Amino acid sequence: MRVVLRLTRRRRAVAIVVAGWTLAACSHTTAEVADRDDLVMARTRFVPAKVRGSAGQQLTLRVVNNDRVRHNFSLPSVPIDLDFKPGERRTVILVAPADRSEQEFFCKFHRDAGMRGTLVVAP
């Protein structure tokens, strides 16, 4: 009887540990997805330089300025013109143009330095 009881406790302990690991893994994965940025501004660049969407689709972008200087996210065709302080993070919601196209977005402060990107709109 004692051996059976010990085995039962051991199984219960293993089940609790496995359940804890599973919950920890799930919560970690969720945090990684929630902390992800869709568009990063740093070193006079946008990363990624291309953002894709479908015609007429509502896009939600998490935009962050990972630099020590002020940047801007401008997309005249939508129109959007937003300034970002160093370290600032915002959620930007826009509707992609209705036609297939490539729309330039840029930082109005560093456009001449090459801080540009493209919104690629598919049908």
Per-residue pLDDT of 47-77, as tens digits, reads 999 999 999 999 999 999 999 999 999 999 9
**Homologous superfamily assigned to 39-122:** Cupredoxins -  blue copper proteins (2.60.40.420)
Q: Strand order of the sheet with strand 89-95? A: 45-47, 39-42, 58-65, 89-95
pLDDT at residue 122, as a whole number = 93
Beta bridge partners of 51: 119
Per-residue pLDDT band at 79 (split at 50, 70, 90): very high
pTM beyond cutoff 0.75: no
**Between residues 18 and 81, the one the model is more confident about:** 81
Rounded to whole angstroms, how far apart are CA atoms 11 and 17? 10
Confidence of residue 12 (pLDDT cuts 50, 70, 90): low
pLDDT at 11: 59
- In the chain, what are the domain boundaries? 1-35, 39-122
Cα dist from 83 to 36, 47, 50, 74, whole Å: 20, 17, 20, 9
| pLDDT interval class at 23 (50, 70, 90) | very low
Cα separations in angstroms, 123 against 50, 78, 86: 16, 17, 35
- Band (pLDDT 50/70/90 cuts) for residue 31 is very low
DSSP states of 41-107: EETTEEESSEEEEETT-EEEEEEEE-SSS-EEEEETTTTEEEEE-TT-EEEEEEE--SSSEEEEEE-
